[in-house]
Amino acid sequence: MQNAQNAPGHAGSFQVDVQTIRKKARQGLEEGAVTDGYRADRETVLRLLNEALATEIVCVLRYKRHFFMARGMNAEPVAAEFAEHAAQEQEHADRLAERIVQLGGAPNLNPEGITRRSHSEYVEAGSLEDMIKENLVAERIAIDSYRQMVDYIGDKDPTTRRLLEEILAVEEEHADDLSDFLA
């Protein structure tokens, strides 16, 4: 079977070494999705993903508290935004935990260390405006953290990079939503 690059009139000579791939696929089955072709430092990636997981959990908790504590004339739309963000942060946490398992790790959900591993802080805040500001600060921290992780991973783990980029895009939307409330 010829691939498009080896078709007549095509100047490439790339071919997939199917026999070697098949042979290697039978070795190290306990590694699951992680094959010999995985080029990142798996322990570092797992640590980063567990830090991101802790960050997302702290964000869920902060947004949930702010949702329930939002009071005042303009509280309803802000509280609704907090609830939406909490749900999206929970989805991020779930996706990060799934990726950790795919890479042969274990999601660290121990409550004792979550705030220590989290990049953002859990700040209760008193007023609606302070809640918005604290959530915006946390989103900005998440944005920079995810950017640094994406840069570190580069092309060594495209699946993890894509996951982090998708989460990053949502975090940027969250920051934009929150900054609109302050405008």
Q: Please, are residues 133 and 182 in contact by the beta-carbon 8 Å criterion?
A: yes
Average pLDDT of the chain, as a whole number: 91
Q: What is the pLDDT of residues 15-73, one digit of tens each?
A: 888 887 777 777 776 766 777 788 999 999 999 999 999 999 999 999 999 999 999 98
**Locus of tokens 């260390």:** 113
56 marked ligand binding residue? yes
37 versus 150: which is more confidently predicted?
Answer: 150
* Cα–Cα distance for residue pair 47/62, rounded to 1 Å: 23
According to DSSP, residue 70 is labeled: -
Note the Cα 140 to chain centre separation in Å.
Answer: 14
CATH of domain 41-181: 1.20.1260.10
119 marked ligand binding residue? no
Q: What value does the mean pLDDT take over residues 147-166?
A: 97
174 marked ligand binding residue? yes
| Domain ranges for the chain | 41-181
Q: What value does the mean pLDDT take over residues 143-171?
A: 98
Q: What is the pLDDT of residues 84-93, one digit of tens each?
A: 999 999 999 9
Residue length, the chain? 183
98 marked ligand binding residue? no
Joined tokens for residue 45: 């990636």
Q: What is the pTM of this model?
A: 0.86
66 marked ligand binding residue? no
